[in-house]
Amino acid sequence: MYNKNNTLFIYCVFYFAFLYIPVLLLPIFSFNDSFHMVFPLKGFTFDWYIQMWNKSRLHQALFNSIKVGIIASVVSTFIALFAAKAFTRYKVKFHGLSYGAILLPFIIPEIIIAVALIVIWTSMGLKLGLIPVTISHILFCTPFCMLILISRMEGFDKSLEEASMDLGENSFWTFWRVTFPLLLPGIIASLLLAFVISFDEFILAFFLSSSDQTLPIYMWSQLRFPKKFPHILALGAIIIIVTSLIVMTAYWLRNLGQGKKKDFSIGI
Amino acid sequence: MNSTIQNIYFRSDQAKAYTLLSPALILVIFAMAAPMIVMIFTSFNTQISMIEIDRTFTTGRYEDFFSKPIFSMLLFRSVKISFFVTLLTLVTTYPLAYYIAFYVKKNKMLWIVLMTLPFWTSYLLRVFSWRVILGNKGVINSALMGTGMIDEPLGFLLYNQAAVIITLSHAWAAFAILPLYVSLDKIDKSLLEASYDLGNTKFETFWRVTFPLSLPGVIGAILIIFIPTVGDYVTPQLVGGTDGRMLSNMIQSLFGRANNFPLGAASAVLMLTTVCLIAALVTYITKKVSMRMS
Amino acid sequence: MSIKNYIKIKNLSKSFGDVEVLKNINLEVEEGEFFSLLGPSGCGKTTLLRILAGFEYPSEGEVFFDDTNVTSLPPNLRPSNMVFQNYAIFPHINVQRNIEFGLRKENLSKDEMQQRVENALKMVQLEGYENRYSNQLSGGQRQRIALARALVKQPKVLLLDEPLGALDKKLREEMQIELRNLQKSLGITFIFVTHDQEEAMTMSDRIAVMDEGNILQVSPPKEIYHNPKNKFVSQFIGNINILGAKIKSVSNENLLIEVDCFGSIQLKNYQQIIENDRINIAIRPEEITISKISDSNYDYNFQGNVKNISFYGESTYFYVQLNNSDKILMVSKNETKEPFSENDNCFVNFSSNNLKIIKD
């Protein structure tokens, strides 16, 4: 019945092109020997990559982004791990309310969270910088991590943990001997994806980072100047390739050992 | 802990569940709920100098918002643009999700990964890429002029609402494909066979069986795209021009150059209220519709 | 030597929210007994087993193992081990490490550990499977590993939650015999949960029949089959004809009973019964004979018409509609001298000593 549908297939190919052309354009132009992103391409060059290497502000921004990303992904994965266990292993009272509250930061417009945080932060007389950025990223990443870990936890039976208890292990050892190893691929996937989200996040950092630029803020500040622009292309090309590799690893890990029950939800 | 309390704790699943949930709930309360309450309070204050805010209660900022037509217009436009983004994304991704769910036999996982991968690569760069594609000296214009099809660059491509809608629709595609795919893939194929068997054509089967059963995915996609895009800042800023400016751009300037935190907070509160009302409306209509269907 | 009751359950109730799944359960299980909890799904048998294991805590009442109150003892501290319905073989470690899992605290030397694992595998006839993983085992093999993993702990009580449910019929029957033999040779108490009455009948020393959170009857299999205490038990165990009836008169020795579908009969008074009570008369299909002409060897002979015949190999079921009644009787025979076909007229014959009085 559903053997072939050429019309739909051709449509898919076009949509695929629509999805990928904007993404692939940047790496192509990053080797183009011109300040302007115009076809036809001029000549091949590595100049922009070399130029990028020498920007100290870029290094600082990269360092900031990595710092924020690591803290945000570790903390939100931890928080999400506990929450996921609560939701999958217990019949939580007010389940809908707690679940909705934890997922909310992921749904509501980021600018509203940004505004709320900048207002409370400044009204407490605190200085903006990487600390509020990190907090906002933890808030934003936790729902993602929780959804990833919940689907991983649902992938293995509660009776495995019960079997461990039955065989004489207490909660602590059951967690380390059974739950943790089975969740490990999900935990790593959660760490990787949360890192990518934090690393790419713009609007929260834009409101809250003040002078401590993260990488997206640095790129934003350079976009306006055509002369500074090509090295952003080089940077962008590297970011695209590295994040793609990280995300593919995360996808692969998430389905590791899940047998036939594949999971596509990347936390949606 | 004495043994009785320990026993009660041991028996109480609720206590254990909420202990586990507490870090997440504390995070939400202190990093989201509390700031939002402060934001609401601030929206009733007045900015008196660069750094000073008068904390006396006033509805003045809301009066400002509604007395200056630009604010309402930007709010309305944000909602309008989000509406079209949601519609365009759903219409363009539905066939794709449908194809993966029903026609792709091997490597479904690969298809899904490929369709969602662009979503993970820097949002900023993707939006920027659209500026490059649509600009006067951009990819489309330079290609068309290079082939001699046009002499002057097509100026209408960039800096308008259509550019914002296309760019956002591209950026949020993954959020539509996934819920749509999940709900379509869940549909038991024998239901469709039953429909053919009972004399429906493929087209009728789609409208009478497939589409109604995929509604949960459609609703999920609507909410997950519409709500966040109302508050999008990057896309209107980079490809919107004056015509494509949205409320977020105004809010940002109120926290930047215009330096009016209370008015910015009031705008954010009104944006949040609007979004909540629309989300509630969508959910309400869905419930009504699904009740009528069952 | 008197056999003592190893497990005692006293006044135990369990509710999930508003739903009471176990209602005032009292039960004693002897040491070394093969004891089955039998009932339809949702009757509370699995919950009762999970309370014994320590995964659920009773809302009321107490559980004793060997006269020690274990009600609030967590599962890891109980001298019982469980074979799970889906076996719960840890997928991230191999068979060897699955079986060793529960021995961590026993501080065994490497050789001792190896010996224990080997013995356990030998017991379930899976020598040489040490390095396999769960996904490399068949359903039956997983079941055996789960058994080995529980038994290697040398538990006082083995709890089995429908362990054969996922196996196909042939394998299930083999495992029934094997489990029974294993239990006999080890001499430990088995608590076996099942919804399959045949399985419970063939394996158990005693069976507790459960329904809607109550234990209806606790008896050895034969007793349950021949003297079911009520309608539910009689119908759940094997096939039976249940006929509505009313007590007409009661004397010291005899009961005169008006059976709805065929009129008056006399039975010995062996239960406390008063006049005008509604009761049921029950008779097993194999206790009725079917013939072309009335068979005077039996106390009662009624005319009827063969409505349906179902052939089951070792026996044949006849569904006979009695004349002047819409009641259909089930009659089973392993051979019939006279061939019957559908719509034939016939006689059904039975004796009063096969009739049982059963309350609702």
- CB contact at 8 A, A96 and A87: no
Among B137, B146, B193, select the one facing A1 at the smallest CB separation: B193
Q: What is the CATH number of the domain that holds B267?
A: 1.10.3720.10
With CA atoms as reference, the chain A residue closest to B145 would be A39
Q: Is residue B76 part of a domain?
A: yes
Task: For residue A181, give how far its alpha carbon lies from the nearest alpha carbon of chain B (Å).
Answer: 19
**Residue C236 to residue C225: CA distance in whole angstroms:** 10
CA B145 – CA A19 distance, rounded (Å): 24
Q: Residue C105: exposed, middle, or buried by beta-carbon count in 10 A (0-12, 13-18, 19+)?
A: exposed
Closest CB to A25: pick one of B93, B108, B139.
B139
- Note the pLDDT of residue C337: 62
Of C82, C93, C104, the CB nearest to A166: C82
Residue B271: which of B81, B87, B82, B78 has the closest Cα? Answer: B78
Q: How many CB atoms lie within 10 A of CB A90?
A: 18
Q: What would the two tokens of residue B147 be? A: 């082939």
Amino acid present at C132: R
- Rounded to whole angstroms, the Cα distance separating C222 from A30 reads 85
For B142, the domain range is 70-293
User: How much is the pLDDT for C224?
Assistant: 92
pLDDT number for residue A39: 67
C75 touches chain A (CB under 8 A): yes
For residue B54, is it within any domain?
no
Domain termination residue (choose one: C190, C207, C235):
C235
* Inter-residue contact C80 to C51 (CB < 8 Å): no
Q: Tokens 């019949």 sit at which residue?
A: A91
Phi and psi of C266, rounded to 5°? -115, 135
Distance CA C316, CA A67 (A): 79
Q: What is d(CA C85, CA C66) in angstroms, rounded to the nearest whole number?
A: 26
Report residue B2's pLDDT band, with 50, 70 and 90 as the boundaries: very low
Q: Is A160 on the interface with C (CB under 8 A)?
A: yes
C15 shares its domain with C151:
yes
Note whether C119 and C251 are same-domain residues: no
Chains touching chain C, criterion 3+ CB pairs below 8 Å: A, B
| Å between C193 CA and nearest CA of chain A | 16
The answer as to whether B168 is a domain residue is yes
Task: Work out the widest C-alpha separation in chain B, in whole angstroms.
Answer: 87
Q: Give the residue from B3, B11, B13 with the most C CB atoms within 10 Å of its CB, the best one to mutate.
A: B11
What's phi and psi for A65, nearest 5 deg? -60, -40
Distance from CA of C355 to the nearest CA of A (A): 46
Q: CB B184: neighbour CB atoms within 10 A? A: 21
pLDDT of B63 > 90? The answer is yes
In a domain, B169, yes or no: yes
Q: Residues 177 to 206 of C: which have CB under 8 A from any B CB?
A: none
Say yes or no for a CB contact (<8 Å) between A11 and B146. Answer: no
According to CATH, what is the number of the domain A57-254?
1.10.3720.10
Asked if residue B240 belongs to a domain, the reply is: yes
Q: Do B11 and C74 touch (CB under 8 A)?
A: no
How much is the mean pLDDT over chain C?
Answer: 88
Q: What is the pLDDT of residue C146?
A: 93
Q: Please state the three-class secondary structure of B218-253 as a single string.
A: HHHHHHHHHHHHHCCCHHHHHHHCCCCCCHHHHHHH
Q: Cα dist. B23→A76, A81, B19 in Å?
A: 10, 10, 8
Alpha-carbon torsion angle C152, C154, C155, C158, nearest 10: 50
pLDDT by residue (tens digit) across B182-203?
Answer: 999 988 888 888 888 887 888 8
Chain B within 8 Å of C55 (Cβ-Cβ)? Answer: no
Domain total of chain B: 1
Q: What is the pLDDT of residues B102-124, one digit of tens each?
A: 988 888 888 888 888 888 888 89
* Domain, as residue range, for C269: 241-358
Please list every residue in chain C whose beta carbon sits closer than 8 Å to the beta carbon of residue B10.
57, 72, 74
Higher pLDDT, residue B203 or B168: B168
What local confidence, expressed as pLDDT, does residue A12 receive? 92
Q: Is A159 on the interface with C (CB under 8 A)?
A: yes
User: Taking 80 as the threshold, does the pLDDT of residue C159 lie above it?
Assistant: yes
Please name the residue ranges forming H helices in chain C: 45-53, 95-100, 110-123, 139-151, 169-186, 197-203, 221-226, 231-236
Residue B5: pLDDT band (50, 70, 90) is low
C81 contacts A167? CB cut-off 8 A: yes
Distance (Å, rounded) from C-alpha C55 to C-alpha C67?
A: 20
Structure tokens at A64: 């900031």
Is C155 within 8 Å of chain A by CB? no
Clarify whether residues C226 and C247 are in a common domain: no
Return d(Cα A144, Cα A150) in angstroms, integer. 10
Give the integer Cα–Cα distance in Å for B149 and B135: 17
Q: Report the residue of C14, C69, C72 to disrupt the B interface, i.e. the one with the largest count of B CBs within 10 Å.
A: C72
Together in a domain, C313 and C215: no
Eight-class DSSP state of C4 = P
Residue B104, classified by CB atoms within 10 Å of its CB into exposed (0-12), middle (13-18) or buried (19+), is: middle
pLDDT at B65 over 60: yes
| Nearest CA among C146, C144, C158 for reference residue C190 | C158
Q: Inspect the interface and report whether the beta carbons of B7 and C74 lie closer than 8 Å.
A: no
**What is the b/e burial string over C151-177, where b = at least 16 CB atoms within 10 angstroms of the residue's CB?**
bbbebbbbbbbbbbeebeeeebeebbe
Rounded to the nearest angstrom, the minimum Cα separation between C92 and chain A is 7
DSSP category for residue C56: S
Smallest Cα–Cα separation from C165: which of C127, C185, C195?
Answer: C195
Do B38 and A120 count as a contact with CB atoms less than 8 A apart?
yes
φ/ψ of residue C102, rounded to 5 = -85, 0
Distance from the A179 Cα atom to the nearest Cα atom in chain B, whole angstroms: 15
B94: Cα separation from own chain's centroid: 17
pLDDT band at C239 (very low <50, low <70, confident <90, very high): confident
Give contacts of C77 with chain A, Cβ < 8 Å.
168
Indicate whether C174 and C41 sit together in one domain: yes
* pLDDT of res. C1: 41
Nearest Cβ partner of A182 from C84, C86, C92?
A: C92
The answer to whether the beta carbons of residues C145 and C124 sit under 8 Å apart is yes
pTM of the predicted model as reported, rounded to 2 decimal places: 0.82
Chain C residues closer than 8 Å to A172 by CB:
none
Contact status of A179 with chain C (Cβ, < 8 Å):
no
Q: Which residues of A touch B261 (CB under 8 A)?
A: 118-119, 122
Number of structural domains chain C divides into: 2
Helix (H) or strand (E) holding A86: helix A56-89
Q: Flag whether B170 is in a domain.
A: yes
Provide the shortest C-alpha distance from residue B68 to chain A (in Å).
21
| Contact across the interface for A79 and B27, Cβ inside 8 Å | yes
Which chain C residue lies closest to B7 (C-alpha atoms)? C72
The number of CA neighbours under 13 Å toward the Cβ of C149 is: 34
- Residues from chain A that touch C84, judged by Cβ atoms under 8 A, are 159, 162-163
The residues pairing with C10 across neighbouring beta strands, listed in sequence order, are: C62
* Half-sphere CA count of B71, side-chain side, radius 13 A: 21
Q: Residue A262's closest CA among A155, A121, A123?
A: A155
Task: Give pLDDT < 50 ranges for chain A.
Answer: 259-268
Identify the band that residue B14 occupies on the pLDDT scale cut at 50, 70 and 90: confident
Residues of chain A contacting C81 with CB distance shorter than 8 Å: 166-167
* Residue A35: predicted pLDDT: 73
Max Cα separation, chain C?
79
**Nearest 10 degrees: Cα torsion C165, C168, C171, C174:** 60
- The DSSP code for A128 is P
> Which of C235, C251, C273 is the endpoint of a domain?
C235
In this complex, which of C90, C105, C135 lies closest to A168 when CB atoms are compared?
A: C105
Distance in Å, alpha carbon of A89 to nearest chain C alpha carbon: 12
Rounded Cα distance, C246 and C232, in Å: 19
* Contacts across the A-B interface (CB distance below 8 Å): 261
- Residue A119 amino acid letter: V
Q: How far is residue B27's CA from residue A146's CA, in Å, rounded to a whole number?
A: 13
- The per-residue DSSP string of A183-231 comes to HHHHHHHHHHHHHHHHHH--HHHHHH-TTS--HHHHHHHHHT-TTTHHH
**A139, B31: Cβ pair inside 8 Å?**
yes
Q: Computed over its alpha carbons, how large is the radius of gyration of chain C?
A: 25
CATH for C304 = 2.40.50.140
Is residue C217 over pLDDT 90? Answer: yes
Question: pLDDT value at position A178?
Answer: 92
Is B223 a member of any domain? yes
Q: CA-CA distance, A112 to B35, in Å (whole number)?
A: 10
| Interface confidence (ipTM) of the complex | 0.89
B–C interface: beta-carbon pairs under 8 A:
6
Q: In what order do the strands lie in the sheet with C254-259?
A: C263-268, C254-259, C241-250, C278-283, C356-358
Query: Cα distance from A159 to chain C (closest Cα, Å)?
Result: 6
- Give contacts of A22 with chain B, Cβ < 8 Å: 118, 126, 129-130, 133, 170
Buried/exposed A10-43: b ≥16 CB within 10 Å, e otherwise: ebbeebeeebebbbebbeebbbbeeeebbbeeee
Percent of chain A with pLDDT over 70: 93
- Average pLDDT over every residue of B214-238: 92
- Round to whole Å and give the CA distance between C141 and C178: 13
Name every chain C residue with its beta carbon within 8 A of the beta carbon of B11. Answer: 57, 72
CA C218, CA C224: separation in Å to the nearest integer?
A: 8
Q: Do C230 and C307 sit in the same domain of this protein? A: no
Residue entry with tokens 């309370």: C51
Put simply, the answer to whether B99 touches A12 (Cβ < 8 Å) is yes
